Amino acid sequence: MPIDLPLQDLPPDTRGRLVVGYSGGLDSGVLLHALAQTPALRARRLRAVHVHHGLQAGADEWAAHCVETCARLEVPCSVVRVNVARDSGEGPEAAARAARHAAFAAQLEPGDVLALAHHRDDQAETVLLRALRASGPDGLAGMRPLRRFANGWLWRPLLALPRAQLVAYAQAHGLEWIEDPSNAVDDADRNFLRNRVLPLLRTRWPHADTVLSVVAALQAETGALLDVGDDDALATARTPDPAVLRLDALRALPDARRARVLRRWIAALQGPPLPARAIDWCNADLEMGRMDRVPRFDWAGHRLQRWRGLLQAGPIRAPLDAGFTATWDGSAPLQLPDGGRLWLDGTPAGRVWTVRARQGGERIRLPGRAHTHALKHVLQSLDVPPWIRAHLPALVDGDGRVLAAGDLAFDAGFDAWLRDGNRRLHWSPPGDIYTVPDARIA
């Protein structure tokens, strides 16, 4: 008689569609089948997503298997092809995981629940792997049964079950699945633990997986207790820009609390996990307190940078191309090549300007001033940080006179023209770069 599979409960406040990450392997095949056999879960517009990495010779056959299996279960299936970055510096395993998670995130509508088939054996591997990477309580807490993810939630309903129970379920229901040959290769750290280390541990400690799962649960409890203090400490360091913290507030924290606050901040920005060497860089930089340069730390396509008592984090972005120039009459928004945008509220009145990247050496005559000032010094006096200045466009008239630097500094005559016509110039930098609205001279 086919056996049932106990699933962890899904909280009632999660009401979106149920989306299964389906690789075609045993684990995700069992999860898909179990969800499809549960009427209440199937009714949540159950569907599957297969991520086609293109890394294995049989990748096309795997995708076809997933589509056929879903058709038999009458579950809609989407196949999403991704390109795995081979030069990210993260290693092939991490790069494939990042590409897979990005593909899943793109498939979720607001409130959707992504269901993944991680089980207790996977949790044991995760705890061991993170212990060997010197993780703290948050890392040793392993994978969570439910957490926020992209526009919705990530749910692991099998996390408390051993893989042996999944095998028994698959055999009892006559399921078919694909064996990924890469799982048998010990090159990846997780595969080495799965194939060599954990089997050896079980010969001495048969309940090693259970014990490591308990370790994860205890560390999760510890982390929850620390979270309250972390939130309070992070709040004291915040600025109007969510991607910028105050260094004086960070400097006042104990090292251990500072490390947790920095990691919590980066997680809230949805950046990649902050490595230990980044924490070391922050601590050393804070202790030295140098203010005569712009120190930076780069990791996984992201950057930490300090300027004038502030610490900023975000994706590494190329500045506005130095050769960029465009003619603009203000009648329609101007899309900038770095992802920024310039637009004018009000009647353009037939004027035509040049918009270009800053070239250095520009001067501007501010309202109420008799002389021109170096634009560089004006922006510094406004406390406009370098991560914003790098994207700031210049609006120039036919004589080469700078009329505006984005919407942060205006020429006196141009400012009067704006005011007389009840007009307003707006500049928005690339989407993940924040600018303080009142940091302008006009």
Task: Return binding residues for ATP.
Answer: 23-28
Crossing angle for the helix pair 163-172 and 26-36, nearest 10 degrees?
A: 60
The answer to whether the beta carbons of residues 51 and 100 sit under 8 Å apart is yes
Q: Which residues contact 389 (CB under 8 A, 6 or more apart)?
A: 358, 379
Query: According to DSSP H, which parts of 46-162 are helical?
Result: 59-73, 92-107, 120-132, 137-140
Distance CA 137, CA 121 (A): 19
CB atoms within 10 A of CB 93: 15
The answer to whether the beta carbons of residues 54 and 26 sit under 8 Å apart is no
Q: Which residues contact 105 (CB under 8 A, 6 or more apart)?
A: 149, 150, 151
Annotated binding-site residue numbers: 23-28
The answer to whether the beta carbons of residues 357 and 338 sit under 8 Å apart is no
By C-alpha distance, which of 78, 154, 159 is closest to 113? 154
Distance CA 333, CA 320 (A): 17
> What number of H helices and E strands is found in the chain?
16, 20
Backbone angles phi, psi at 299, to 5 degrees: -155, 135
By C-alpha distance, which of 98, 113, 110 is closest to 151? 110
Helix or strand or coil: residue 44?
A: coil
Q: Which residues contact 96 (CB under 8 A, 6 or more apart)?
A: 53, 55, 84
The one-letter amino acid at 314? G
